[in-house]
């Protein structure tokens, strides 16, 4: 199995042939057909690779996805550029354009085609791995050096358990899932199909629960599990705590950046995005398609509706309705935030106008004497 098998786009999926030097070559017309775009310029212009708009050369493809970056046409050397419809008029002899309604998605598609293939994971169990006798390994599973797999674990076909990983008792890992080195999945937790857990991820550590007792703080047993559904990706050193009761639940297609903290009994809806260093307190529930900016904090026992966007470093202390855009600490609606934070500058402008009018009045008084 290869890691490329997990992705949506691969070279093989488009039936593209590579030459003897493994140098991939596509024309603008072929790329346009792939992404269902429209060529404006030279259809036969050849592309060998992709690059950022500042670094791209004449045989490379790049993208400009917003009209406010139109000035980059003046300095880029990119031969072929993916653009939004608003930029179709920027075509010139210097650049061939491919017009598409979804520039970011189209560029990701093309990057996947040109990208080097990831390392191949050879199926089998490394001699230094410790695997309990009753573990169920699917076809083509890879278990890396010094991995430890406890009794009762089930691992689906083609899964990869990287070097130094630990899988606790009765853990279940779905087919095609990749655990990169030093991932920990504690007892009874479940990971779905085609997930990616980057190095240092910890799934199923105890939730943070203590109550005062006669002799000090008493630990509250955390008896639940973590359930991660299919096609979830968790960034390096992200932690997901087990539930006090029931489950901490990350639903399908959720994408989580590095160093994110997800507490006990949290529920995260499908296709949500959590950017680096976000923290979500216990029993918070996020709807579908929620986006949390970097270092956002979510209070416990609140509900974040479908499609909510929270700006980076914001602190959300109360529930938010579907579709809300929130920022600041405590977080408030975009309109409230902008009104509050633009008020001082508006007041300053009014004060200057008042002083100017006052001076004019004084001048008029002086001339009337």
Residues annotated as catalytic are: 264
Residue 21: what are its φ and ψ, rounded to 5°?
-90, 10
Burial of 273 (0-12, 13-18, 19+ CB in 10 A): middle
Length of the chain equals 369
């Amino acid at each position: 199995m290869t890691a490329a098998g997990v992705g949506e786009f691969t070279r093989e999926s488009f039936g593209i042939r590579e030459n003897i030097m493994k140098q991939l070559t596509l024309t603008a017309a072929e790329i346009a057909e792939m992404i269902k775009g429209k060529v404006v310029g030279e259809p036969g212009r050849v592309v060998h690779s992709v690059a950022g708009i500042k670094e791209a050369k004449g045989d490379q493809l790049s993208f400009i996805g917003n009209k406010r970056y139109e000035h980059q046409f003046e300095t880029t050397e990119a031969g072929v550029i993916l653009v939004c419809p608003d930029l179709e008029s920027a075509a010139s002899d210097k650049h061939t354009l491919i017009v598409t309604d979804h520039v970011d998605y189209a560029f990701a598609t093309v990057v996947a085609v040109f990208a080097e293939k990831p390392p191949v994971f050879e199926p089998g169990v490394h001699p230094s791995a410790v695997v309990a006798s009753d573990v169920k390994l699917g076809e083509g599973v890879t278990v890396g050096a010094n991995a430890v797999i406890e009794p009762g674990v089930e691992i689906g076909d083609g899964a990869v358990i990287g070097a130094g990983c630990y899988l606790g008792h009765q853990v279940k890992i779905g087919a095609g899932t990749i655990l990169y080195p030093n991932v920990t999945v504690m007892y009874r937790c479940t990971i779905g199909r085609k997930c990616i857990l980057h190095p240092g991820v910890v799934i199923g550590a105890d939730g943070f629960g203590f109550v005062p007792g006669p002799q000090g703080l008493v630990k509250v047993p955390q008896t639940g599990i973590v359930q991660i559904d299919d096609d979830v990706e968790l960034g390096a050193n992200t932690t997901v705590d087990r539930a006090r009761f029931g489950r901490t639940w990350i639903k399908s297609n959720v994408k989580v950046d590095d160093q994110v903290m997800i507490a006990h009994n949290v529920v995260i809806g499908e296709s949500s995005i959590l950017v680096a260093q976000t923290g979500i307190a216990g029993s918070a529930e996020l709807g579908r398609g929620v986006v949390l900016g970097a270092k956002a904090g979510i209070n416990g026992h609140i509900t974040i509706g479908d499609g909510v966007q929270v700006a980076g470093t914001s602190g959300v202390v109360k529930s938010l309705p579907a579709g809300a855009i929130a920022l600041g600490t405590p977080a408030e609606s975009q309109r409230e935030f902008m009104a509050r934070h633009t008020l001082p500058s508006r007041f300053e402008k009014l004060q200057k106008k008042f002083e100017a009018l006052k001076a004019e009045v004084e001048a008029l008084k002086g001339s009337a004497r």
